[in-house]
Structure 1
């Protein structure tokens, strides 16, 4: 695929500027949707102005971020945004995947999905925001890293200088193909008894996805099969109720927000839970979460047996059946989950009828 021409990129940048002038509150993701392009295409239209294309393996950039000191890590999907402040470190990367575990930064990276790395300098009001943004081949944001006032600006400048691409041109993003439909039901002739027996004998939560793949069943279909035994449908307001109860009772929770290239995880107590329009938010120092409540098509309590006892999760799904957030109680390997977390989830309102 050929790269966008300079004229095409300039035209897109001009259209963005006009839209920003007409609707100054729009975030870049919403601007891109209005203009009919991907977020990556729109951001890259600023190359030569406020955006710099980097030429480096994403893993090398993740390792280099440690030199910046405290930063804000942001991972989002269509329905949830997870933001946490910390310092990158303890990076372990394989050919296609890796880990960053330097609490509070806790990431699972699927680097085979990462395609373009862009440095973005933008003004938001009186504030100048500096960030490193990673996109997949379709221009979907996989992960973003924002500088903080306490970040090392000299290290930031050195990183850009060392990794700056020789040719500053927009990457050749590809149109996204139509997503495969997620089956809501098990396939014909499915052996539900064997599947539920395997579920009953899980030893670790990490065995859950391999079990689904082995049986050839989607996650939404699996929950329907397990309803009343290992799964319970929760009401529309259950997620907000869970956050409010966790904040009130200071129950330690973990929240996972995934996209195809990254899973970002937080762990600990939360305090400030606030609704704002369609969003329910955690607004704590060093940790923010934003979730579109109106995008929660289904919420489930999901119980997974392990050698350490049952692990209880709250899982959120969108209208397409895509999992977009998981919440569990904080726990360590070899230790049963917090009884106060299990009690909290069991007290959440379910769907009746």
Structure 2
């Protein structure tokens, strides 16, 4: 068992040798979770939070303009704005502002901390296994007094007890899909009236997302390269076309809807660096990218699905749209042009 003190000492030594390494990566190097590493600073720069995090999230709008951060191993999604229209139905929740747009799965929100990193204040939330699910950072436009009041309201009475993380069981291998009735699956794909029906289709035929996409009817899925993906982003920026970028952790899906403007590649990262939206995509970890075309009652919806080497979803990209409104022809044109080129 690693004591908090010994872990703190190991992390201090690690930071001296690797001052630019982020805490998520440091945790992997040290063989612990990010939450455990963060907890070594309780009483110094970190405070434990307690209570119903659904209630806490309903209070986040009082902070005003903040930065929401959701990530997985291969994409970091940062969106600035105000938390608005926060609501819950049991353990699922929504934040439906024009800037901060989230889908919340609260069964994965087990630990919460208030963190002050050299004056950069944040609220950080973690799954039972210590994996980060969502973070909220103050900006220079935020209400710091409201932040301090929120922290005091949800401050855990017991700051001394160590947190106890529990690793999730290893994910079982997904079925290969060899016994799937492909013709029936494709017929149901072509009969979809809403993109959300795809999830039920995968469950019915016991397929993971990438397997389902590979079995799509002819003309409804196509593999593209990382360079083509970047060209789609660049063309959307050139034409000022608003797009939607979805990134998820186990406890949160975060969505950017709007244009992307400034892009830059830095080492293995492909970045969007706009004032209100930043994306950092680890392009060298992308194993496959698929263009999908799903029928709906509003016409075809064209999406991009990005997967890593384990078949995990990295991100989803669409043209800006809402249910009941057909997809923009301009988005379809960009995707088709890049593929044809």
- Normalising by structure 1, we get a TM-score of 0.93
Match of 1:33 in 2: 28
Helix, strand or coil: the match of 1:118? strand
- Structure 1: 5+ residue runs without aligned partners? none
- Whether 1:284 aligns to 2:274 is yes
SS in 1 for 2:83: coil
* Aligned residue in 1 for 2:3: 8
- Give the deviation of 1:92 after TM superposition: 1.2
Conserved 8 A contact 1:132-1:146: yes
How far apart, CA to CA, are the structure 2 residues paired with 1:159 and 1:251? 38
Match of 2:15, SS? helix
Residue 236 (structure 1) shift: 3.0
The reply to whether residue 199 of structure 1 matches residue 189 of structure 2 is yes
Q: CA RMSD in A?
A: 1.5
CA apart distance, 1:227: 6.0
Aligned partner of 2:73 among 71, 74, 78 = 78
Describe the SS at the equivalent of 1:205. Answer: coil
Where do 5+ consecutive residues of structure 2 fail to align?
none
Question: Which of 86, 102, 106 does residue 111 from structure 1 map onto?
Answer: 106
In 2, Cα distance between the equivalents of 1:350 and 1:100?
Answer: 38
| 2:145 corresponds to | 154
Per the TM alignment, residue 133 of structure 1 is displaced from its structure 2 partner at its CA by 0.4
Deviation at 1:266, TM superposition (A): 0.5
Q: How far apart are residue 12 of structure 1 and its match?
A: 1.1
Distance 2:93 2:339 in 1: 37
Please give the alpha-carbon distance, in whole angstroms, between the structure 1 residues aligned to 2:245 and 2:167.
31
Match for residue 172 of structure 2 among 161, 180, 197: 180
The runs of at least 4 aligned residues of structure 1 exceeding 3 Å deviation read none
Out of 154-163 and 272-281, give the one that drifted further: 154-163
Match in the other structure for 1:52: 47
Give the number of equivalent residue pairs: 340
Helix, strand or coil for the counterpart of 2:223? strand
Question: Is the contact made by 2:58 and 2:87 (CA closer than 8 Å) also made in structure 1?
Answer: no
Asked if 2 retains the 8 angstrom alpha-carbon contact of 1:66 and 1:89, the reply is yes
CA contact (8 A) 1:257 1:265 kept: yes
- Cα distance in 2, alignment partners of residues 265 and 119 from structure 1: 24
Aligned equivalents of 2:154 and 2:249: distance in 1? Answer: 26
Matched-pair contact (CA < 8 Å) for 1:316–1:323: yes
TM-score (norm 2): 0.96
Structure 2 Cα separation of the partners of residues 217 and 158 of structure 1:
47
Match of 1:260 in 2: 250
Tell me the distance in 1 between the aligned counterparts of 2:4 and 2:164. Answer: 12
Q: Is the 8 A contact 2:186 2:217 kept in 1?
A: no
Is it true that 1:137 corresponds to 2:132 in the alignment? no
The counterpart of 2:329, out of the listed 322, 339, 353, is 339
Residues 108, 263 of structure 1: 8 Å contact kept? yes
Q: 2:220 maps to which residue?
A: 230
* 1:18/1:266 CA distance change after superposition, 3 Å: same
